[in-house]
Each structure stands twice: as C-alpha cells, then as structure tokens.
C-alpha cells in the first residue's frame, strides 16, 4: 500500500512536470508566433510605405515630364499665336479706320448740304428784299404822279415779272429737294453706312465712291 502511494506521488509529480513543460512550451510557441506576426506586420507596413513613396516619385516625375512637354508646345506655338493676335488687331484697326473715313465723308457731305441750304436761304431773302423794294418804289411813284387811267403793263414788264416768278419757283423747288435729301440722310443713313427705308427695309450700299482718291 505504501508502494502504491509512493508510485501515485511519483506519477503525479511526473504529470505536474510534464504539464509545466507543456505549458512552458506553449507559452514559448505563442510568444514566438506573436513576435513573428509583429515582425511580419512591420515588414508589410514598411514595404507598403516604400511602394507608396516609389509611386509618388513616379507620379511626380510624370507630372514634370508633362509640364515640360506643355511648356515646349507653348514655346513652339508662341510666335504663331502672336502673329494671329497681331493680324486680328490689324484687321480691327483697318475696319475702324474705314468706318471713320465713311463717317467723316458723310459729315463733309452734310456740311456741304448745309452750306448750300444757307446759300439758298440767303438768295431767297435777297430776292424777297428786292421784290419788296421794287414794290415800295412802284407805290411811291404812283402816289406822287397825277392819277390817270390804268394802263396795261408793257410786254417788257410782264416778261420781267414772269422771269422773277419762275426763278423764285425754281429756288423753292430746289430748297425743298435739298431739305428732303438732308432729312433722308439724317434719318435713314447710319454711321456704318446702312440705309434704312420705311416699312422695315434696309440695305448696305457700296460706299467706295465716298472714299477720297489716293494722293
């Protein structure tokens, strides 16, 4: 019986020793596994960071390359763009100069028409003054002379009065035509040369004949 108890104690001691060894081995294996996982995780993170940095460097190099190509293209077409801009500016300046010439020519024609109107007004005023003076002279002569029976006017006087009347009629007709033309020019012709007609019609005539001849 004592031997059985002794063997049981030895067996229990052996079991405890084996259990301790197994636990120690398991703890060591777990610790090694954890260290291995931590090491692998750090390695993966470092590799990922290295790959990201490499991709960033590649992208930066590609961006610089494209920027250089774009700058080269701009430099290559700079002269062409400047030439096109200068050509447009010259075309715009020429068009403005042509419109200014047309406007000046129209203004000169208007001034000429105004001068003609003033001359016609002055002529009409002179004729009216002469007619008034002639009427006053004839009235003054009839009052001083003795009354006599009316005589028929001589043919020469009839011819003079008819010629004066015809001259006054022609002047009035000319004045009317000039005023109509002046009104049409003021109301129907714009600065760019477009002629506007009643009822919404308009056209753009050639105004080359208005330009001054080259020196």
pTM attached to this predicted model: 0.28
**For residue range 91-125, what is the model confidence (pLDDT) as tens digits?**
777 888 888 888 888 888 888 888 888 888 888 88
Backbone angles phi and psi of 176, in degrees to 5: -65, -45
pLDDT at 185 over 70: no
pLDDT at position 142 is 45
Instruction: Provide CB contacts within 8 A for 186, sequence distance 6+.
Output: 110
2-144 vs 155-188: helix crossing angle, rounded to 10: 170
78 compared with 174, residue with greater pLDDT: 174
pLDDT at position 138 is 65
Lowest mean pLDDT across 36-50, 108-122, 176-190: 176-190
Instruction: For residue 67, name the pLDDT band (cuts at 50, 70, 90).
Output: confident
Q: Where are the domains of the chain?
A: 2-138+160-210
145, 101 contact by CB (below 8 A)? no
pLDDT at position 162 is 59
pLDDT at position 158 is 45
pLDDT at 34 over 70: yes
pLDDT at position 193 is 55
pLDDT at position 154 is 46
Cα gap 53→61, rounded to integer Å: 12
pLDDT at position 38 is 79
């Amino acid at each position: 019986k004592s031997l059985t108890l002794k063997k049981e104690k030895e067996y229990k001691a052996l079991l405890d020793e084996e259990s301790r060894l197994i636990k120690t081995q398991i703890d060591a294996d777990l610790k090694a596994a954890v260290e291995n996982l931590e090491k692998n995780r750090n390695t993966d993170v470092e590799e990922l960071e290295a790959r990201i940095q490499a991709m960033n460097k590649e992208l930066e190099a590609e961006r610089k390359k494209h920027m250089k190509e774009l700058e080269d293209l701009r430099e290559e077409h700079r002269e062409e763009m400047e030439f096109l801009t200068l050509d447009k500016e010259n075309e715009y300046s020429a068009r403005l100069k042509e419109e200014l010439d047309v406007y000046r020519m129209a203004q000169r024609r208007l001034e000429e028409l105004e001068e003609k109107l003033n001359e016609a007004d002055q002529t009409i005023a002179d004729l009216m003054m002469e007619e008034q003076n002639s009427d006053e002279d004839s009235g003054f002569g009839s009052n001083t002379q003795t009354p006599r029976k009316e005589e028929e006017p001589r043919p020469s006087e009839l011819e003079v009065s008819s010629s004066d009347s015809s001259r006054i009629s022609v002047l009035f007709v000319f004045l009317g035509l000039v005023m109509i033309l002046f009104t049409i020019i003021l109301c129907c012709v714009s600065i760019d040369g477009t002629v506007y007609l009643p009822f919404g019609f308009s056209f753009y005539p050639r105004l080359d004949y208005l330009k001054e001849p080259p020196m």
